[in-house]
Structure 1
Amino acid sequence: MKYFMDTHDSKNGTFPEGISQSDLDAFYQAYAKACLEEGVVSIKTHVANDEGKAYCFNMAKDKEAVFRVHEKVGLPYDTIVEVDSIYPLEK
């Protein structure tokens, strides 16, 4: 499994501007279901709703699996990149 980070920004139309917390919670449930179907592990999602931005950290076999999750839930993205270093390192 590899790590991937994806980004969303309302200025680019990739994050729903003004989404309520309850709508965001419901959307994440659909996202989590799509992740399960595609073998993607949603590790952490950071949302800055006031800024209209979100950052998702996932683990998947490949980038295409992360693409498919986004397609299934109709969520556009700015970037999806593979990351290979996680800090801080445990000793």
Structure 2
Amino acid sequence: MAKFMDTHHGMKGITAEQLKAAHAADLAIEGEEGVHFEHAWADPDSGTVYCLSEAPTKEAVLRVHDRTGHPADEIHPVPLSA
């Protein structure tokens, strides 16, 4: 499966608890789309949240986020890592 990094904007002031809850919501249904969310990070000052996942397609990632109420603004494939 491919790796993807997605970005959410407009989440200024997000707390650690809210980030954990959003990530847990994704984890609860990820299998229905064949996605696995590996990690999420947030910058409360800028309102940016990043999620790293493995998925068959970026559309599958988008569907999970849409269904859990926090659609991604950007989804980027990550074909190389070190």
User: TM over 0.5: same fold?
Assistant: yes
Tell me, which stretches of 5 or more residues in structure 1 are unaligned?
A: 11-15
- CA radius of gyration, larger in: 1
- Give the match for residue 37 of structure 2: 42
Q: Extract structure 1 runs of 4+ deviating beyond 4 A.
A: none
- Give the match for residue 69 of structure 1: 64
SS at match of 1:80: strand
Conserved? CA contact 2:19–2:42, under 8 Å: no
RMSD: 1.5
SS at match of 1:28: helix
Structure 2 CA distance for aligned equivalents of residues 64 and 71 of structure 1: 10
Q: For 1:1-91, list aligned pairs within 5 A.
A: 1-10=1-10, 16-87=11-82
- Aligned-residue sequence identity (percent) comes to 39
Conserved? CA contact 2:62–2:71, under 8 Å: no
- TM-score scaled by length of structure 1: 0.77
- TM-score scaled by length of structure 2: 0.84
